Amino acid sequence: MILPTDQFPPTQKPSESVSGVTVRLAGDSGDGMQLLGTQLTNTSALSGNDVATFPDFPAEIRAPRGTRAGVSGFQVQFSAEEIFTPGDGLDALVCMNPAALTTNLTDLKKSGILIVNSDSFEAKDLKLAKLEESPLEDGTTDPYRTIHVPMTKLTRGAVESTGLSTKFADRCKNFFAMGLVFWLYGRDVEPTLRFIDNKFGKKAPEVAEANRLALKAGWNYGETTEDFASTYQVSAAELKKGNYKNVMGNQALAWGLISAAKLSDKDLFLGSYPITPASDILHELSKHKNFGVRTFQAEDEIAAVCSAIGAAFGGSMAVTTSSGPGIALKGEGMGLGLMLELPMIIIDVQRGGPSTGLPTKTEQSDLLMAMYGRNGESPLPVVAAQSPADCFRTAIEAWQIATRYMIPVMILSDGYIANGAEPWRIPEVDSLPKIPVSHPAGQKQNGEPFLPYKRDENLARPWAIPGTEGLMHRVGGLEKEDGTGNVSYDPDNHQHMVETRANKVAKAAEFLDPLEVDGPDSGTLVLSWGGTYGSCRTAVKACQENGKSVAHAHLRWINPFPRNLGEVLKRYDNVLIPELNTGQLRLIIRNEFLVDAKGFNKIKGKPFSVTELVEAIEAIA
């Protein structure tokens, strides 16, 4: 269809140019805030802004309506400059009900824009949010530029012509809010109109029409109401030249895995059991079977990891994905993977723990489990992705290490980067590294026994796969004799094998990039890892601008550490390690380098804000 973009004329009101904006959309989990947020992010990215997002939703699918527990939020920062976080203080906050307002208002900057659906502040709504008085009337919203919009009424009126029942009409409210926000920031409606058409155009044309009408009503409301004197303009960011696409962490991980499989000429096998926030990797991979991807939804996480090992034995690129509780179950299997010296990838998308913990909230508290959470001496390479787009590169690197050293590799992601989005510079396929993988060829059995544990210069053993003539061999979890792979209880051999497995991990440092440091060679070093990259980088920059001697280094590989880490650490008087846990990396760093590193630790299920990091750094710098 021809999209009715002409029904959204540019504003006649004055437009103020700003370098960047942080908006949060908050409502009931049934209000469609995640959809609104994704659309706003998408159109902003397409217009050339740098973007970063932070969706935040309850663990329950339909948490009690109207309650504080049921509030679902989506924050996005879009900017004309390069950004690394979804922003701290909000420039604008959209609240669809009193519960959303109460739980989010403190993050709005003083004199920031507060848009509320004034129709949802009735006595019953206040009661659901456990409020005595309406925050719209008791002075709570006084410090802000509050705009009361009777969204329910206006949306019902706008979609009346479609004949939808009030129940369905009310579902279009998020599109009304979207129209208003798009108008306020001069966003292009075309991608959203296309989205509506693709999603509902054929299946439910009246719903498509209603959403378009609501979007338009919101847009027009902005233009007509006297509450807004002007709009805002955010121009395109100066990103590196290239083609871009907006990606979420889990999607980028899945694409990185698919790419790694192609680059090594392997078929990909995923064994997985659904768990928040990792399931989207399973969903995404399941869509791409034409890449030779086989996905197996196992009966539990143990079967998931074991099936992956079975596939690795057969010669596939094997992957298993989960979050903390599932990784705990996989421990024994991962140890076997290490003993068998087969390449595979284990992904832990971390969430708040322990136990079921905070399924939809972010945390970095599985680092020690990834490093040490298996029986026996069982070190595995561990790499942590630093941002949504970085997940792509991480998957490829992990597979490079896994195949080069014949070892299972752990990837750590977290809920924040798994669901967060940012622009990804699409690589030229030819620029991606080929990943050489080979299997020994068959041979006649002529008395010379095949040695399944004979090692190459990387200590890797040959990846001989079933079906190959003459290379029949047995693998297993019992300690094996180096070379022959036969079961061995010999004391010296055991020590040798434990050391050899550890040496493989250590050797990987030769292949990996050294640590880069951003900032001066002395003073304070902020050492971060994983998903806190963006906030730490932004905070250090702010401190540097404040004239402090602060440098930033970010670890992606934690096992092995970059080969120059010890030398970098020595240069600084202070080392500060901010983590979303009680100090797990700090424990390792202090142990390994005898450095008196300080911690800045937050365990609230939330990412760091830049402001709190700046305060923490400046307190010691």
Partner 1 sequence: MSTELPVLKAKDFESDQDVRWCPGCGDYSILAQMKKVLADIGAKKESTVFVSGIGCSSRFPYYMDTYGMHSIHGRAPAFATGLKSTRPELDVWVITGDGDALSIGGNHLVHVIRRNLDINIVLFNNSIYGLTKGQYSPTSKIGKVTKSTPRGSIDHPLNPLSIAIAAEGTFVARSVDTNIKHLCETFKRAHAHKGTSFVEVYQNCNVFNDGIWDYAKDKKTKDQSTVVLEHGKPLVYDNGTKGIRLNGFQPEIVELDGNVAVDDLLFHNEKETQPHLANVLARMRFPEFPEPIGVFRAVERPTYDEGINQQVEEAQAEQGVGDLAKLYAAGDTWTV
Closer by beta carbon to partner 1, 184 or else 258: 258
Between residues 246 and 365, which has the closer beta carbon with respect to partner 1? 246
Cβ closest to partner 1, residue 95 vs residue 306: 306
Q: Which is nearer to partner 1, 291 or 511 (CB)?
A: 291
Nearer to partner 1, 286 or 549 (CB): 286
Which residue lies nearer to partner 1 by CB, 306 or 527?
A: 306
3-state SS class at 285: helix
304 vs 382, beta carbon nearer partner 1: 304
Tell the smallest beta-carbon distance from residue 378 to partner 1 (Å).
13
Please report which helix (H) or strand (E) contains residue 54, including its range. Answer: strand 50-56
Phi, psi of 3 (to 5 degrees): -80, 135
Tell me the closest approach of the beta carbon of residue 198 to partner 1, in angstroms. Answer: 11
**Toward partner 1, which CB reaches closer, 96 or 340?**
340
Separation in Å, CA 532 to CA 351, 359, 498, 520, 550: 14, 19, 33, 21, 17
Q: Which is nearer to partner 1, 170 or 332 (CB)?
A: 332
Q: Least distance (Å) from partner 1 to the CB of residue 35?
A: 15
Closest CB to partner 1 among residues 477, 523: 477
Token readout for 402 is: 């896994």
For residue 250, the minimal CB distance to partner 1 (Å) is 15
CB of 528 to partner 1, least distance (A): 27
Q: How far is the CB of 597 from partner 1 (least distance, A)?
A: 37
**Length of the chain, in residues:** 621
Rounded distance between C-alpha atoms, residue 494 and residue 489, angstroms: 7
Question: Shortest distance, CB of residue 329 to partner 1, whole angstroms?
Answer: 11
Q: Tell me the closest approach of the beta carbon of residue 551 to partner 1, in angstroms.
A: 29
Residue 372's alpha-carbon distances to 129, 249, 343, 376, 529, in angstroms, are 44, 25, 19, 9, 17
Smallest gap, in angstroms, from Cβ of residue 78 to partner 1? 13
Q: Scan for tokens 């998020």, then name that residue.
A: 174
Residue 167, burial from CB neighbour count under 10 angstroms (0-12, 13-18, 19+)? exposed
233 burial level (CB within 10 Å; 0-12, 13-18, 19+):
middle
Q: Which residue has the tokens 């928040």?
A: 276
If the CB atoms of residues 27 and 315 are measured against partner 1, the closer one turns out to be: 315
Q: How far is CA 30 from CA 63, 130, 256, 481, in A?
A: 9, 19, 32, 59
Question: Whole-number minimum distance, CB 409 to partner 1, in Å?
Answer: 17
CB 473 → partner 1: shortest distance, Å? Answer: 7
Q: Where are the alpha helices (DSSP H) in 22-122?
A: 33-46, 98-104
**398, HSE (Cβ side, Cα atoms, 13 Å):** 35
Closest residue by Cα to residue 409 from 334, 349, 352:
334
- CB of 129 within 8 A of CB of 68? yes
SS3 category, 377? coil
State the nearest-atom distance from the C-beta of 306 to partner 1, in Å: 4
Residue 116, phi-psi category: left (phi > 0), alpha (psi -120 to 50), beta (remainder): beta
CB of 504 to partner 1, least distance (A): 21
Radius of gyration of the chain (CA): 27
For the purposes of burial, counting CB atoms within 10 Å of the CB of 399, is it exposed (0-12), middle (13-18) or buried (19 or more)? buried
Question: What single letter denotes the amino acid at residue 555?
Answer: L
Q: Quick one: residue 215, left, alpha or beta (phi over 0 = left, psi -120 to 50 = alpha)? A: alpha
Q: In the complex, what is the shortest distance from the CB of residue 345 to partner 1, in angstroms, rounded to a whole number?
A: 14
Q: Which is nearer to partner 1, 436 or 476 (CB)?
A: 476
Tokens of 200: 């509902």
Looking at beta carbons only, is 468 or 503 nearer to partner 1? Answer: 468
* Alpha-carbon span 526 to 543, nearest angstrom: 11
- Report CA 475 to chain centroid distance, whole Å: 36
Q: Cβ closer to partner 1: 144 or 392?
A: 392
Torsion of CA 317, 352, 518, 562, to 10 degrees: -40
